Structure 1
């Protein structure tokens, strides 16, 4: 492509904190890099604004502090400083080149060469730099053309990129599911051949990428491809088919319910709580995520509103969507409160203790079974249950 490509207008480009930050770093010493450039070219919102600079990290801190901008050395060994400018948060990273890599982490050296910094990035669509003031884009490896074609391609030799960081295997598929229509054949082949490298990664890193992949727009198509190419076998051999996930994605769309990564992970696994428990532990999911993953595998055993009352809306929606039930019915439902208390039962003559708890449960069960009738009906149910409880004690 010839000529100069300019970054389109975007809200973030006019933020006062960004202008102040760029001014502090000095003319020609700051460019917007990565996701913000990519997403703005695609016309989608971007969450994080990252800058690259040839200044070394210590100089960055000095320049920011001299301008009254808070500088936090969040990743100073790798050249990253978090800048807080006008209550806006940015990451400023010194241009880098890799010195050594082992597939999990890299030792870096700082450089002042923009192309050298771009060359160490993973995909062409992530190696785009933009001048903050003019919006002129610097594209060293054909990223703009790939972005226009929705083509996900490694920079340089895919096998070398993967050897530097094995997580790039999963990132390749996540980017394909989010931004791509076509995968570079050489990159796809390398990811499939090197899938065993994923075993060297921490399970937390695998889980983080997988959960983000699961909710990407083309997740079903891309995960189908991953299953066909055996990418999951080394780390999640339990994943055997795509049918349940495809069904779930259709039901989510038809119900107007947003995709959820834990629910979608459950759809990839056999409907067996023991398998879900094993996978949740292996991926080091949080306790809440593990409980939800296991719950999602269990069958629907109640009417949707009753299920939501017993489990909570989130868990009930999971089970209903996975089983083909009517999740839309409870999507915006507010859990009602039983209009009866133990104190009221004591006032009616029951002795405080197990009898009150048992009777209250009986009242609640009938209230749920009758689909949450009003206080008058609850009062009638209560009188019946109290009378029965009193008779049992005589």
Structure 2
């Protein structure tokens, strides 16, 4: 067990006192979202027979069908598609985009360059790997203003006859900007629909679920996608993703995931149904724990004059806490310190590596029960200037807090920092 200095323990107590009011707000949101999930379970009469697995084609799997209905109710959507067959958030997002875009259509991201793993989904013309551009889908993006707001003049001039889908990334990704609140997304929907009423608004909702009282599909978003090894899986779901929104678009996504004529009517759940229900049930509470941990980490490092985004007292719209360091050595020590706090693989020392889907070497602390489960305590960072680590998750507040303190102690032990 790592030994913490007296000065660090005193700083811990100071930070705990500082964030009391913010913690109350987080607990309120978690409570209301928990009620919403329970009411959705009750509305659809979830029973233990819904947890039975299916094999083969998975025809008439009532548990799978009701799970879709529960997700749709929780997210205020017409329909949802929840499956273990989605291998990642990127796969889920790619499925949604391919479902609604056709050759000659344009995808326009209005929140700047999307997260690194989507770059190859968008692709380059003629890349031969089945990207959107390889299928003749056009792509454009509008950078945010210097104030990290939507550049509406540029959006108006960019939306054209070919623009079929407007893409919004809710979370910051590997950016320094604040994540977008649902209220801001509602305004984006309103404005783009005024410019082009038939445009489809898509939201990458990864890391955002249950951090606020409402979800994007409750404010007019046509289709959104997320990963079950992030927020909505509650740390229990072993894999999978979801797509929710207008029924016609969700059904198109189901046909993309399987095949036309089959859609969402098939897909053996292979014993995973119970964990997906239970994960959703736990998700609001566990997301609250993780968000509280992010607030603690922000307040802790701000006490030492590090830049953080969001600020500890800012409203939270996703799990991610960005902390900016002075050098690659600081960054690597921080991520390696988070790994030391893990319950799983604490003895492993992460090093930067060329991770598939990323454009720079990435270092990842991921001592998780579910591989890549970023609702669990984890941290990652591309090794590039400015040196910014992205910490997220923690199935319990105590674990998230331990991760931040251990990371700080690791930096102290290496002579990179003094209290």
Q: TM-score, normalised by structure 1?
A: 0.25
Higher helix share: 1
Q: TM-score, normalised by structure 2?
A: 0.24
Q: Which has the larger radius of gyration?
A: 1
